[in-house]
Homo-oligomer: A and B are copies of this chain.
Amino acid sequence: MVDADGIYYLGPEGSFTHEAATLLNKGNLKSESTISLVFKKVDEREGSIGVVPIENSLEGPVNETLDNLYNYDNIYVIGEIEKKIELALATRSNDLSQIKRIYSHPHAFNEAREKLKELGFNEYIPVESTSKAAQIVSQDSEAAAICSTFAAKLYNLKVLLTINSHNNYTRFIVLSKEMSSNGNKSMILFTVPHKPGALYKVLQVFYDYNINILMIYSRPLKSIPWQYYFYLEYEGNISNHEFIEKLVKSTSVLKIKGAFSKLNNDPRF
């Protein structure tokens, strides 16, 4: 679907972002340890793309991603991937009775807590990521990991059961230095003049052009306390020049990140 020299994703190997990045057919997948490093690599390496999480349905936006989108004027969004976050109890053997230890990330353990209680497990050993848990368990036949089925497969573990995570979805975005004008949604970041009604005037432009706002978040501008920039996604693309002109006039700073579509339509992802 996307052709690139290198695809940099938020790691480690086996992370949910890694799984999302495998949906991009072509390119050499490379793990980075932070979201900011993914942006840095996309900025430095010609023809590369990046994959980072931008929003979780329970936790809200990923601030590090929004702030980097605001700071890198030359990095655009060319695609979106949405995934249901599902966890599994994974082991080397098929035998639950052999399990003496469970490794997981604290968030994942919280989601799995009830199910594990039913199985008689009340304690776990916390590690920095669910993929790290899978890696440890691949070396320990008396341990189980709470991790994604993707991480389980990567580390040759067997999935003993899956844990139903209610309403837990994450959206990932695909980054590139080339702006796209095709897609069914678009992203902008902006600041407004420091006077009453300023944000209202921006939203009025969308209303006047009958354009549906899909989401809006505000984030602090770190340079000035209690001043904000806005992050906004809307339905449609960036080809209406009159509309874009009106946006330019109603904002102080306007950063257009381009138009994009969902890369996956499979409900399993």
Min C-beta distance of A181 to chain B, whole Å: 22
Q: What separation, in Å, do the CA atoms of A192 and B128 have in the docked complex?
A: 38
Min C-beta distance of A66 to chain B, whole Å: 9
Min C-beta distance of A233 to chain B, whole Å: 11
Q: What separation, in Å, do the CA atoms of A212 and B59 have in the docked complex?
A: 29
Contact in complex: A207, B218 (CB < 8 Å): no
Contact in complex: A169, B57 (CB < 8 Å): no
**Nearest-neighbor residue (CB-CB) of A227 within chain B:** B57
The A102-119 residues at the B interface (CB cut-off 8 A) are: none
Residues of B within 8 A of A60 (CB): 63, 219-220
Q: Say whether A1 faces chain B, with CB atoms less than 8 Å apart.
A: no
Against B, the Cβ 8 Å flags (1 = close, 0 = not) of A213-226 are 10111111011111
Q: What separation, in Å, do the CA atoms of A251 and B231 have in the docked complex?
A: 22
Min C-beta distance of A261 to chain B, whole Å: 16
* Interface pick from A23-31, A46-54, A135-143, A195-203: A195-203
Copies of this chain present:
2
Contact in complex: A218, B220 (CB < 8 Å): no
Main secondary structure of the interface of A (DSSP, over half): mixed
Residues of B within 8 A of A228 (CB): 215
Q: Say whether A204 faces chain B, with CB atoms less than 8 Å apart.
A: yes
The residues of A with any CB-CB pair to B shorter than 8 Å are: 55-60, 63, 167, 169, 196-197, 199-200, 203-204, 206-207, 210-213, 215-220, 222-226, 228
Q: What separation, in Å, do the CA atoms of A225 and B86 have in the docked complex?
A: 15
Contact in complex: A218, B215 (CB < 8 Å): yes
Residues of B within 8 A of A57 (CB): 220, 222, 225-226
Min C-beta distance of A106 to chain B, whole Å: 13
Q: What separation, in Å, do the CA atoms of A210 and B197 have in the docked complex?
A: 8
Residues of B within 8 A of A211 (CB): 196
Min C-beta distance of A217 to chain B, whole Å: 6
Nearest 6 pairs of A and B residues by beta carbon: A57-B225, A200-B203, A196-B212, A200-B207, A197-B207, A167-B225
